[in-house]
Amino acid sequence: QVQLVESGGDSVQAGGSLRLSCSASGNTYSTYCMGWFRQVPGKQREEVARIDRDGDRVYADSVKGRFTISRDNAKNTLTLQMNSLKPEDTAMYYCASKEYRCSVRVAFNYWGQGTQVTVSS
């Protein structure tokens, strides 16, 4: 079992920045691949970015060049630096993990409770 706890969500104006953090505890063997997802009520959950334990990263086209995902394996933390925020970035952001490489087509099986990001125009 892995417990994931997100923090850092807030309300900001368009063009601003936020830094989300996710702390992992428990069986961190199951955090080989970690990712950030977001969801707006009534819409499908969207993957924002993912990162392997060795640092390989993948970003959604909608956030490339604005968001940066990183992790500290020693501290079992995952971070999402979000710059140049837009109103369409407003969503609940979730941290997730799985024990396989990100490229392996297995669903993320551990999820946090989410942290709300609201961007006003």
Residue 120 β-bridge partners: 13
pLDDT at 108 over 80: yes
User: What is the 3-class SS of the chain, one letter each residue?
Assistant: CEEEEEECCCEEECCCCEEEEEEEEECHHHHCEEEEEEECCCCCCEEEEEEECCCCEEECCCCCCCEEEEEECCCCEEEEEECCCCHHHCEEEEEEEECCCCCCCCCCCEECCCEEEEEEC
5, two tokens: 């706890």
pLDDT tens digits for range 27-72:
877 889 999 999 999 999 999 999 999 999 999 999 999 999 999 9
The confidence score (pLDDT) of residue 27 equals: 83
Type of residue at 63:
V
The confidence score (pLDDT) of residue 89 equals: 98
pLDDT tens digits for range 16-36:
999 999 999 998 778 899 999
The confidence score (pLDDT) of residue 31 equals: 87
